[in-house]
Homo-oligomer: A and B are copies of this chain.
Amino acid sequence: MLKKVRLNKHHLALLLLFVVCSKSFGNDGYKLWLQYRFVENEALRGNYRSYINKLMPLGDSKTIEVAEKELELGLKGMLGLDFLSKPGVGEKSLIFGEKSNLSKDISIQLESDFNNINDEGFIIKSISIKGKNQIVITGNTDVGVLYGVYHFLQLLQSHKPIEQLKIVDSPKLKVRVLNHWDNLDRTVERGYAGFSIWDWHRLPDYIDQRYVDYARANASIGINGTVLNNVNANALILTPQYLEKVEVLANIFRPYGIKVYLTARFSAPIEIGGLPTADPLDLDVIKWWQEKAKEIYTRIPDFGGFLVKANSEGQPGPQNYGRNHVDGANMMANAVAPFKGIVMWRAFVYSEHDTTDRAKQAYSEFVPYDGQFKDNVLVQVKNGAIDFQPREPFHPMFGAMPKTPLMMEFQITQEYLGFSTHSIFLPKLFEEVLKADTYRKGKGSTIAKDIDGSLHNKRLTGIAGVSNIGSDINWTGNTMLQANWYGYGRLAWNPYLSANEIADEWLVLTFSTNESFIKPVKNMMLDSKEAVVNYMTPLGLHHIMDTGHHYGPGPWVSNLSRPEWNPVYYHKADKNGIGFDRTPTGSNATEQYADEVAAKFNNINTCPEEDLLWFHHVPWDYRLKNGKTLWDGMALKYQEGVNQVEHMGKTWDTMEAYIDSGRFNEVKMLLNIQFKEAKWWRDACLLYFQQFSGKPLPDGVEKPTQTLEYFKSLKFPFAPGN
């Protein structure tokens, strides 16, 4: 059927009509940044068509098959359904395949390019074969080719020229994974986009189309691994009943270059193995893990390995048996090493028995072990020393373990950043962390350089993002937050990209190439990160959210059993001032940083004001750099956050003409909620802190609409993600 219809101008008009209509009929967001919108500009479309009229796949792997399918889908969507329909001679072929499948006359032209890519890199190049112009997409592996194919499709969707292509790119990190905090009952810890996309009950026999589209989306941005289940793990995932299901997912993801990983509950040998202990030095335990690894690899030969949360927040671990993190991690690393698996061992630990400063504990526990971990262990470190706050100074472990591969753990889901209702562009946060300078090898020792291995010449490198994906039709519960999944993937590929570039890319792929839309919305996105800091935790405040669900403000909470669970532990507001003294006069957490960094943080005059109350207990009448008192400045920051959200809403309201009504209305409603909640944060926090400062709100700060008692009375027993 497809091959018989010829396209003429009338058809194109009708095609255009369809495009226009689909705009008004809404877009449910399911397609993410893989919209493959029709290229309406006829000249451009003609130009693209003039460079390709045939696909020429090389090799017959499943990866090449999915690459071809994606090209067909994308090119037909962007260039017209009749595209590729005429059987033609190979004049204008799009050739794609891995190096070993290239003909000599092609590979000879790419020799120097191949020197510049690694195993997952790609080359997209316009070449001439026997006088004919061709485009070739290649790499050392088929997965590299697939990455190149996605990049090529993105060029077209971005309306970039394809006349003289010469693009050579490789990922800078090896392990680029999503962490799903998904439970076996399909609830998602800190999930705000519905429930888990893993329908364990129907697996292995029912293959949800979502699994394929999940793989496509991840491959399109270079994510190459997924940890399917929650770090607060259930050992049942390691039983044959579940491994049979995991195997099916691994089979679906494999052509897309995505490895499956699982979290391993440290006490699994007891719970599902029937052993009396999980002591990592016990021979039966060692054997049990070895056999479990073998069992898994028999099903899934390219299984990625284990992610482990041990001795943290009630999870079992080696310390239960008087052993340490090295004992635990290395025992499991030994089990997977014969199969080239890895262990990602989380550094997110804190103990109720250590009463000094929670921020110091991970460093104290882990840095002494530098050099002792097996070489297939990655220590997974959150970006800051507390827990995914809107802003944290970088984690002091970065740069401080030259002999241990550290992988970054970012949180894409917004546990502390307004859930999925707040439209916050997180690459801005990620960028700030990656650019932070540890000074461990002098100026320029950025975190990006630690995690990509270049700072200390580390071989194994990686990054993890705690997923914001759920069963909502649009995947992330808010179309704008698809940008955070996208942006995380892009930074995992290249941690030196700017948030600005990423926003540009994502907006074009997701919505429109129209600059009248891109510019204002990009600015809105880039400002959103500072807005949330301002209306939640300005000037270095942190961990002042409500308990359990972490929804909304709760600076007053002081009754939880462990001191470091209480917001009052973190802000320490009193008549004299506010903030946590982490300088040598206080907890001395700053000693965990390089001298240059510690000196900067210790001195209240050089400490960045954005981190002020993180490191200092500051009097209410302390003068900020703008001349305002701390109290006035803090109040104005809260107001500024509210104003920024209001501005975001107003910006969005003017965008109606540029995009479909479905996504427009969705984001509009969510920005209204964000505005309401920003005011809630401002009012609740200022009313609470005012009890200590005893000062009036300065000019420019709106009067609270409710009393402190009202805000304290709010209860959300069914807030999601808890």
Binding site for B on A (CB under 8 A): 1-2, 5, 7-8, 10-11, 13-15, 17-18, 20-21, 26, 28, 30, 81-82, 184-186, 194-195, 200-202, 205-207, 209, 236, 419, 421, 471-473, 662, 666, 669-670, 672-673, 676, 716-720
Contact = CB atoms under 8 A, between A and B. Distances in A.
B18 A18 contact: yes
A669 B206 contact: yes
Contact of A10 (B8, B186, B473, B662): B8
Contact of A471 (B195, B207, B719): B195
Contact of A672 (B5, B15, B194, B205): B205
Contact of A13 (B5, B30, B201, B676): B5
Nearest 6 Cβ contacts at the A-B interface: A184-B718, A11-B14, A205-B673, A185-B718, A10-B10, A206-B669
Instruction: Name the residue in A81, A669, A716, A718 with the highest tally of chain B Cβ atoms < 10 Å from its Cβ.
Output: A718
Nearest to A472: B471
A718 B205 contact: no
Per DSSP, are chain A's interface residues mostly helix, strand or loop, or mixed?
loop
A209 B718 contact: no
A224 to B, nearest CB: 27
A662 B209 CA distance: 8
A194 B471 contact: yes
Nearest to A7: B14
Nearest to A195: B195
Given A11-B10, A194-B195, A206-B421, A201 B718 contact: yes
Nearest to A207: B669
Contacts of A2: 17, 20-21
Nearest to A674: B205
Contacts of A82: 17
Given A194-B195, A195-B471, A202 B421 contact: yes
Given A18-B18, A206-B669, 17 more contacts: A1-B20, A5-B13, A14-B14, A14-B15, A17-B81, A18-B81, A26-B209, A30-B473, A195-B195, A195-B471, A201-B720, A205-B676, A206-B666, A206-B670, A206-B673, A236-B717, A471-B472
Contacts of A81: 17-18, 21
Contact of A186 (B5, B15, B30, B720): B720
Contacts of A200: 718
A8 B21 CA distance: 18
20 contacts: A2-B17, A2-B21, A5-B14, A5-B17, A8-B10, A10-B11, A11-B13, A21-B81, A28-B30, A30-B473, A186-B195, A194-B195, A194-B471, A200-B718, A201-B718, A201-B720, A205-B673, A206-B673, A207-B669, A209-B662
Contacts of A17: 1-2, 5, 81-82
A72 to B, nearest CB: 11
A209 B28 contact: yes
Contacts of A670: 206
Nearest to A73: B25
A212 to B, nearest CB: 11
Contacts of A184: 717-718
A625 to B, nearest CB: 37
A473 B26 CA distance: 16
A419 B202 CA distance: 10
A62 to B, nearest CB: 18
A15 B10 CA distance: 12
A197 to B, nearest CB: 10
A97 to B, nearest CB: 26
A422 to B, nearest CB: 12
Nearest to A670: B206
Contacts of A11: 10-11, 13-14
A195 B662 CA distance: 22
Nearest to A185: B718
Contacts of A666: 206, 209
A672 B8 CA distance: 45
A242 to B, nearest CB: 9
A37 to B, nearest CB: 15
A81 B720 CA distance: 41
A321 to B, nearest CB: 27
A201 B719 contact: yes
A657 to B, nearest CB: 13
A179 to B, nearest CB: 20
A278 to B, nearest CB: 21
Nearest to A5: B17
A677 to B, nearest CB: 10
Given A20-B1, A473-B473, A205 B669 contact: yes
Nearest to A26: B209
Contacts of A419: 201
A298 B55 CA distance: 65
Nearest to A715: B241
A186 B477 CA distance: 15
A195 B716 CA distance: 19
Nearest to A206: B669
Nearest to A719: B201
A30 B28 CA distance: 11
A640 B720 CA distance: 46
A332 B537 CA distance: 48
Contacts of A206: 421, 666, 669-670, 673
Contacts of A473: 30, 473
A46 B236 CA distance: 61
Contacts of A421: 202, 206
A5 B16 CA distance: 10
Contacts of A718: 184-186, 200-201, 236
A201 B10 CA distance: 48
A207 B26 CA distance: 14
Contacts of A186: 195, 718, 720
A206 B419 CA distance: 14
A11 B473 CA distance: 32
A107 to B, nearest CB: 36
Contacts of A14: 5, 7, 11, 14-15
